[in-house]
Amino acid sequence: MREKKIAREILAYLRDHPRSGDTVEGVSKWWLMQQRINESVNAVQQVLSHLEKAGLIFERTMPDGRTLYFANTHPDTWEAVKNENDSEGGLIN
């Protein structure tokens, strides 16, 4: 099954960069790494969105358009996180 995942990552990279060419080492290092970074960024964005909706973090948009994320420093916020971590559930379903 790992080979199928790698094949999907390579094809996704080639879809986005149709004129790319590289060695096996280059594909491993650059193409697959880039796809994993893209997937990671998407997953992190989703988690940050959930954490913001839960009131655990807040965001601030900077003048250049980038968004920074900060902890909600209200003391009750972190008590809720501790209680959530102690239970079977999780913050993200």
pLDDT at 35 over 80: yes
Instruction: State CA 11 to chain mean position distance.
Output: 20
When pLDDT is averaged across residues 34-42 and rounded to a whole number, the result is: 89
Token reading at 4: 């199928």
How far is Cα 27 from Cα 8, in angstroms, rounded to an integer?
Answer: 13
> What is the enclosing helix (H) or strand (E) of 59?
strand 57-61
Radius of gyration of the chain (CA): 19
Is 58 in contact with 51 (CB distance < 8 Å)? no
Lowest mean pLDDT among 20-24, 43-47, 81-85, 87-91: 87-91
pLDDT at 41 over 80: yes
When pLDDT is averaged across residues 24-37 and rounded to a whole number, the result is: 92
Domain parsing of the chain, residue ranges: 2-86
> Between 92 and 22, whose confidence is greater?
22
pTM of the entire predicted model:
0.62
